[in-house]
Amino acid sequence: MRKLMNRVAIATLVLAALLPVASSAQTPMDELLRRAREALNNLEYERADSIARSLVTATGPGTRAYRTTGLQILAAALYPDEQWAQKPDSARKYLTQLVRLSPDVSMPDGVTWPGLDSLLEDARRRTFAVRLDAAGQDTILGVDGSVRVRVVATRPARFRLVAEPIDLAGTVVHLDSASGRVEMELAIPVFREDVRLLESGRYRLRVIADDPVSDLRTEDLMIATVVAPQLRRVSIPVVLDSTQLLPERSAPRRWRNGAIGMGLGFVTVLAGSVVGSSNELSGLGGDGRAYWMAGALATGAVLGALLDSGASLPENAEYNRGLHRGFAESVRDAQEENRRLRDTYRATVRYEEAGK
C-alpha cells in the first residue's frame, strides 16, 4: 500500500511539473512527460524510470526545466520512504546533477520526505555549483542604465559576469562582479562611463564563481542577444564664428589727425615768419615762439593720432552681445538635447539557454 502511495505521489509530481508546459504547444519533450505520467498512473515503475532517464539526458536549448523535472522524479523514485526500496547512492548521483543544474532547488511537496530532503542537502553541501538565472527579454533604459540578472550558488562565492562575443570580433567584456553571498544580482550595462561595452550581436553570457574557501571554480552560461543602437548625439558649438561680429568702434583716423596737426604746425611757422620783422623790432623773438608752438602742435597731433582708437559704435556692440547670447543658448540647447538622447536611449537583451 505504501508503495502504491509513493507512486501516486510521484505521479502527482509529474502532473504538477506538467502544468506550465500544458499551456504551450506540445513538443516531443511534452510527450515524454505525458508517457511518464501515464506509466506512473499504471504503476509501471520501470517504464516510468526509463522515460525519466530520457528527460535527464536531454540536451539543447530549452531543456533545463525538463531535465530538472526528470531528476526530481528519479531521485524520489530511487529514495522513497520505504527502506527496502531505497538506493541512496543512485539517488545521490541524480541529486548532485540536480544541484548542479539548479543550486537552490528543492523537492516538491507531496513526493518528498525528511530523508530525501536530508539527502538533497547533503548533495548540496558536497557540490559547488552556480546558476545564471535569466529568461525572456530585458530593456536597458538610458546610457547609464543596466539590467540585472540573478546568480545563485550552493555557497557564498565570488561572482564575475562576462560577455564573450559569438558573431562579433572582440575580446571578453567584463560586465560586473560581486561577492560574499549565496545569491546576488549582477548588472549588464551597454555603456560604462560613456564607453560602449556591448555592440549589437550575440554573446555567451557567462557567470564564473570562485569558492574563497576551497579555491574551486565553477560556471554557468546563457546566450544573450543584444540590440544596442548607436547613441545619437548633436554637435555642441565650440566657438562663435568671429566673422559674424561687427566692429564695436570705428576705424581710427591716425593719418588724418597727424596730417592736420602737421598742417597746423606748418601754418604756425609760416605765420611766425610773416610777422617776424615787427616782432624783432619790438624784441619779442616771434620766430622762436612760432617754431615752439608749431612743434607742440605737431607733437600733440602725433600723440593724438597714435592714441586714437576710433569712435564707439553702440549699435554694433549691442548686436554682438546678441550674437554671444545666441551662441550660449545654442550650446545649452545642444547639451540639453544630448542629455535627452542619453536618457531616452534604449537597448534590449534577450536570453536563451545555451545548448549543453
**DSSP per-residue letters across 196-224:** E---SEEEEEEEEEE-TTT--EEEEEEEE
Name which of 27-36, 44-53, 222-231, 301-310 the model is least confident about: 301-310
Lowest-pLDDT choice from 61-75, 190-204, 299-313 = 299-313
Rounded to two decimals, what is the model's pTM? 0.70
Choose from 5-19, 233-247, 254-268 the range with maximum mean pLDDT: 233-247
- pLDDT-derived band of residue 41, with 50, 70 and 90 as boundaries? low
What integer pLDDT is reported at residue 262 of this predicted model? 57
State which H helix or E strand residue 245 sits in: none
Residue 161 in this model has a pLDDT that exceeds 90:
yes
Give the three cell numbers for residue 334.
Answer: 545642444
Total residue length of the chain = 356
Distances from the Cα of 128 to the Cα of 50, 56, 69, 88, 98, angstroms:
28, 20, 21, 20, 12
pLDDT tens per residue across span 272-326:
555 554 444 344 445 566 556 556 655 655 555 555 566 888 888 899 899 899 9
Q: Which domains does the chain have, with CATH numbers?
A: 2-127 (no CATH), 131-233+346-353 (2.60.40.4070), 249-330 (no CATH)
Residue 159, SS3 per DSSP = strand
245-279, pLDDT tens digit by residue?
888 787 766 555 555 555 555 555 555 555 554 44
